[in-house]
Amino acid sequence: MQKRNWWRVLAALLTTLGLSAALISTTAGPASAATQINHKCAVIGTDQYGNQGVHCVNLNYEGGQAWSTNEVFCQSSGGVILECAGIHETPGLCNIASSACSYSPEGICGVRFGHSACGARRVVNSSPRAAFRCGVEYWGITIGTSIVLPRSGDTVGGGLVGTHDYVC
């Protein structure tokens, strides 16, 4: 587990969320309703063809543990999932009470980043799990997200995307 200055991460996250508040929406129908307590998505970039890079962060808890998952994908202006030319992201979980964040290894796909194709799907990655305490604020975040859009090859992203909640 890496310790980071939680106030810097939180300040950067709040700045990012404040700048893109119009783009953030809560979506219905979480994949795992029994454990998912918060789900936020943001369109982090659109190219001249209407293709969008979308990034979602989920905060989960179950059996005394909390973790975050992210979903990164490309879609057409009509909402059809497309194959991204590349995705690069690192999911994390921050516990505000202990001033610590833990991150999973970065997730990478796509020939743009020297890896196998991403496929026309939602690319999902999870943070490490951590024991949680009731009444503590947790942040599910992803840092350094880059999405290479299909057709145009434009790269969008680069900041923090996240969601937070109190467990219990």
What pLDDT, in 10s, does the model give residues 129-156?
Answer: 988 788 888 888 888 899 999 999 999 9
Q: Is the pLDDT of residue 55 over 60?
A: yes
Percent of the chain scored above 90 by pLDDT?
Answer: 45
- Flag whether pLDDT at 20 surpasses 50: no
Distance CA 66, CA 112 (A): 33
Residue 112's pLDDT is 87
Q: Looking at the domain covering 6-26+35-166, what would its CATH class be?
A: mainly beta
Sign of CA dihedral 91, 34, 83, 22: negative
Identify the pLDDT of residue 48.
97
Determine the length of the chain.
Answer: 168
Other CB atoms within 10 Å distance of the CB of residue 97: 12
pLDDT recorded at residue 99: 82
User: Among 26-40, 43-57, 61-75, 106-120, whose mean pLDDT is lowest?
Assistant: 26-40
The yes-or-no verdict on residue 120 having pLDDT over 80 is: yes
pLDDT(35) > 80: no
d(CA 132, CA 2): 17
